[in-house]
Structure 1
Amino acid sequence: MFGIFKSDPTKKLQKAYERKLEQAMEAARNGDMHTNASLTAEAEALREEIEAHKDA
């Protein structure tokens, strides 16, 4: 009954994933490819975690 008040952890992960991708895009625009690569790797780790939550 009170399950509607619980927050969905995948929503928080999805927002973090989108934020990382935006940061990576900005880094690429500024020519900082090292930061772009590391942020993209972090975003991919978040995406995998999101997929794991969806499968469970």
Structure 2
Amino acid sequence: MFGLFKSKSEVEKLQVKYEKLMQKWHKLSTTNRSKSDEVYAEAEAIMNKIESLKNE
């Protein structure tokens, strides 16, 4: 109830985006390998940004 209007931090937003990209990557890995590699690279870039924000 109290977290209803709480805004998400930058790390939380990036984690949600990362999870969505990883789900998309998994689906594409069986049908379109080159596209899945692109999505995976994008997800890894987001993970690196998350780690750098956590280290600050």
Pairwise TM-score range, normalised by the shorter structure:
0.7 to 0.9
The two structures, once aligned, show a CA RMSD in angstroms of 1.1
- In the TM superposition, what whole-angstrom CA distance separates every residue of 1:26-49 from its partner, at most 9, and x where no partner exists? 1012x2001100000000000000
Give 5+ residue unaligned stretches, structure 1.
Answer: none
Change in 2 beyond 3 A, CA 1:6/1:15: closer
TM-score, L = length of structure 1:
0.83
Q: Distance in 2 between matches of 1:7 and 1:55?
A: 18
Give me the TM-score of the superposition, normalised by structure 2.
0.83
Deviation, structure 1 residue 6? 4.9
Structure 2 unpaired stretches of 5+? 1-5
Hey, which of these two has a bigger chunk of helix by percent? 1
Q: How does 1:1-56 map to 2 (within 5 A)?
A: 5-29=6-30, 31-56=31-56
